[in-house]
Amino acid sequence: MSDLISIGGMTRLPVIRTDGELRQGPLIKCNNGIWSRHDGGQLQCDNPWLVLATTRALQRFVGRIPETILPDSNGELPDVDALNQAIPREQWPAGLDGRPRPPWAKQFVAYLLDIRDAMMVTFLNSTAGAGIAVREVERRLTWKRALHSGQEIYPLTKLADAPFKTAFGIRRRPDFPILGWRQFVDGQLRAVAPLSLGDELDDSVTF
């Protein structure tokens, strides 16, 4: 479900509404550095992608059907450990190592828009590598917006990968490197100009 909002009376942008469904567009995944779509469709990894939003969710599978818990109105999720403890261990599914795996897992979610063909996809995964990728782009976005007085700025990225140390050796995790910053101005997507020295110091410097 999408609504439209007005920013400054000029720009009208779709709003991502996850109160009904977590997934928006095709699901994408990164398996040891290889990006793909869950449905087998084409994915242009090197195209410029705009990170529209990120979130968290809890999810478990009952058979092949996902059961999802979305954040409440305060952005909070239930305690995942408490949810798992309420399920008898003999009902837990087997993990890749054959041992019982907690059924509920925290999902790290990012919504990305291919700015060349306007396709929106959902990256959703519970791995440690996914958590690093999503938290890092959130951290940089938070500071970038702070440097620009809280303006609505979005990271431009691509579907990349980075080395990640695991118990099984070095593998490749998902990564969203910052290629630039964009914002919607008067109905257009425009590059965000770098801060000048005067902007950074909130003053002008005369030599």
pLDDT at 113: 95
Q: State the sign of the Cα–Cα–Cα–Cα dihedral 109, 114, 118, 119.
A: negative
- Token pair of 151, please? 């303006």
Contact 30, 173 (CB under 8 A): yes
pLDDT at 15: 63
pLDDT at 111: 95
Contact 18, 70 (CB under 8 A): yes
Residue 138 and residue 123: Cα distance in Å, rounded? 14
Q: Which of 135, 142, 143, 145 is nearest to 183 (CA)?
A: 145
Pairing assessment for the beta strands 120-125 and 27-31 based on DSSP bridges: parallel
CA atoms within 13 A on the CB side of 89: 2
The helix or strand, by DSSP H or E, that contains position 184, with its residue range, turns out to be strand 180-185
Residue 203 and residue 143: Cα distance in Å, rounded? 20
pLDDT at 22: 87
Query: What does residue 198 show for φ and ψ, rounded to 5 degrees?
Result: -65, -40
- What are the CA-CA distances from residue 193 to residues 22, 119, 134, 138, 175 (Å)? 33, 26, 24, 20, 24
pLDDT at 18: 62
* Per-position pLDDT tens, the chain of length 207: 333 333 333 445 566 766 667 889 999 999 999 999 999 999 999 999 999 999 999 999 988 888 999 988 888 999 999 999 999 999 999 887 788 999 999 999 999 999 999 999 999 999 999 999 999 999 999 999 999 999 999 999 999 999 999 888 899 999 999 999 999 988 789 999 888 766 555 554 444
Query: What does residue 14 show for φ and ψ, rounded to 5 degrees?
Result: -65, 145
Residue 195 and residue 203: Cα distance in Å, rounded? 12
Contact 141, 41 (CB under 8 A): no
pLDDT at 167: 81
pLDDT at 75: 86
Residue that has been written with the tokens 């990006």 in this structure:
35
Contact 38, 29 (CB under 8 A): yes
pLDDT at 96: 76
